[in-house]
Amino acid sequence: VSHAYRAGIFHCLADPTSTATPEEAYEYYADGILVINDEGKVERLGPADQILPTLPSGFPITTYPNAIITPGFIDTHNHFPQTEMIAAFGEQLLDWLETYTFPTESKFQSLEYAQQVAGVYLDELLRNGTTTAMAFSSVHAESAEALFKEAYQRDMCLITGKVLMDRHAPETVRDTPEAGCTQSRTLIEQWHGKGRLHYAVTPRFAITSTPEQLEAAGHLLKEYDGLYMQTHLSENHKEIAWISELFPERCHYLDVYDHYGLVGPRSVFAHGIHLCEDEIQRLARQDAAISFCPTSNLFLGSGLFNLKQMKQHKVKVSLGSDVGAGTSFSMLQTLNEAYKVTQMRGDKLSPFESFYLATLAGAETLQLDDRLGNFLPGKEADFIVLDLHSTPLMQYRMNNCNNVFETLFVLCILGDDRNIKETFVKGISRHQRDQATH
Ligand code: GUN
Ligand code: FE
């Protein structure tokens, strides 16, 4: 049923670094009303004193004091089977994969086990205000099947795919080019376009796929409409050195993916920390996206992403938690680390750009900005209520904020799951902090 929500309301209209002034890139109503229709879509929004008199008498309104409503967060890179291995000690990427990741992911050949973890993972996303995710499953078709099933039950917009991985990994997490393709096709036919679900062809990275498998992945992408491609790119120096040994005929890491037809407007590359000039230019030219994963990049000691350089080259960038190399499901905590990474680079990430990265930029990366990312009328009503008084410190600090810039910045630095008072998916409440049992 139609419903109105009253609180502060903030949403982005554009990339604040692309407009003449940052103020042109967002709308903020200190006392706003968001009206949702009975299809779970945004009807309209505006200041309460303008909207209230136009609502029919008895129209249901929920009011949230000391709160800001924003679009739900969009996490453009993470791994659902790694939920249980966040905070694995001491290794950088390649050793971390061997020591922790592959053994953990090997458990996901069991559909039952995968479904149990998928439920925990999706509930954790919702608890953190993330309503859309692009996720890796494991190599097992069962894992993608489980995640699709659980996301479908929650009516969430979710993109995943079974990982393609046919070398340089233990047998328990390997497939073959043929099996990888057949299983992907079955999943695509069953799930791609069902409800709010989409399929992503998912070669883990070029180290763990043979040239034959990468070629098959490229063919698969051309076979069906609207598929995504997700993989990892240029995260770690040892990884990059190994890539040049494995593909000596390719001029750089991105050229490997490009050669197999994996670079395009629906491709999302996680990390992209150590790219050369030509790689950056090609990403921009081919309209491919990078998912910036600051908590992961710091945790694995991978390096400092150069956001400013990507922006200057007009590469699409959004935000990823990269759980379980990432250390938090919270996009607010992810923005906290993102801010520090830009500081280390001599830049500063404004809270307007931060919220853009976590919402509208994610929708643009996934080419879902006609449906998600802000509150333009007709968009799907995935939104969250951010509690500004979630802890004594938060309340005290917020009372000393003078404007929306400062309020949002404090949320980006101090914020976490405790700020997520309520999460709505297509107009339906799917998480309420005060009623949660955990
Ligand atoms: N590169 C290849 N696989 C992975 C993974 O699971 N996590 C991260 N962070 N990087 C990867
Ligand atoms: Fe990753």
pLDDT digits (tens, 9 = 90+) for 141-185: 999 999 999 999 999 999 999 999 999 999 999 999 999 999 999
In a domain, 339, yes or no: no
> Helix, strand, or coil here: 288?
coil
Q: Are residues 54 and 105 in the same domain?
A: no
Q: Are residues 14 and 159 in the same domain?
A: no
Q: Are residues 210 and 302 in the same domain?
A: yes
CB 236 near ligand 1, within 6 Å: no
Element (H, E) at 31: strand 26-36
pLDDT digits (tens, 9 = 90+) for 230-270: 999 999 999 999 999 999 999 999 999 999 999 999 999 99
In a domain, 334, yes or no: no
User: With bands split at pLDDT 50, 70 and 90, how would you rate the model's confidence at 1?
Assistant: confident
Tokens (6 digits) for 227: 């598929």
In a domain, 369, yes or no: no
State the Cα–Cα distance between residues 145 and 122, nearest whole angstrom.
Answer: 14
Q: Are residues 220 and 208 in the same domain?
A: yes
Q: Are residues 66 and 83 in the same domain?
A: no
Quickly list DSSP for 237-287.
Answer: HHHHHHHHHH-TTSSSHHHHHHHTT--STTEEEEE--S--HHHHHHHHHTT
Sign for the pseudo-dihedral over CA of 185, 189, 191, 193: positive
Task: Write the CB contacts of 192 (distance below 8 Å, at least 6 apart in sequence).
Answer: 198, 199, 224, 226, 227
In a domain, 50, yes or no: yes
Q: Are residues 159 and 300 in the same domain?
A: yes
Q: Which of 230, 235, 237 to mutate to test the pocket of ligand 1 (most atoms within 8 A of CB)?
A: 235
Q: Are residues 51 and 88 in the same domain?
A: no
Residues 273, 274, 280, CA angle at the centre, nearest 5°? 85
Q: Are residues 179 and 252 in the same domain?
A: yes
Tokens (6 digits) for 10: 């903030």
Q: Are residues 21 and 103 in the same domain?
A: no
In a domain, 362, yes or no: no
Split into its structural domains, the chain has a count of: 2
Strand partners, 55: none
Residue 245 exposure: Cα atoms within 13 Å on the Cβ side? 7
Q: Are residues 226 and 266 in the same domain?
A: yes
pLDDT digits (tens, 9 = 90+) for 372-391: 999 999 999 999 999 999 99
Residue 264 is part of a domain; what is its CATH number? 3.20.20.140
Prediction ipTM score: 0.99
Taking the alpha carbons at both ends of the chain, their separation in whole angstroms is 29
pLDDT digits (tens, 9 = 90+) for 129-142: 999 999 999 999 99
* DSSP one-letter code for 99: I
Distance 153 CA to ligand 1 centre (A): 28
Q: Are residues 408 and 287 in the same domain?
A: no
In a domain, 266, yes or no: yes
Q: Which of 100, 105, 160, 232 to mutate to test the pocket of ligand 1 (most atoms within 8 A of CB)?
A: 232
Q: For the chain, how many residues are written? A: 438
State the Cα–Cα distance between residues 419 and 410, nearest whole angstrom.
Answer: 11
pLDDT digits (tens, 9 = 90+) for 58-97: 999 999 999 999 999 999 999 999 999 999 999 999 999 9
Residue 35 is part of a domain; what is its CATH number? 2.30.40.10
Max CA pair span of the chain: 71
Strand partners, 203: 164
In a domain, 228, yes or no: yes
At 437 the pLDDT is: 59
% of residues, the chain, pLDDT over 70: 99
Residue ranges making up the domain that contains 44: 3-72+377-435
Q: Are residues 308 and 422 in the same domain?
A: no
At 438 the pLDDT is: 52
pLDDT digits (tens, 9 = 90+) for 4-26: 999 999 999 999 999 999 999 99
CB 232 near ligand 1, within 6 Å: yes
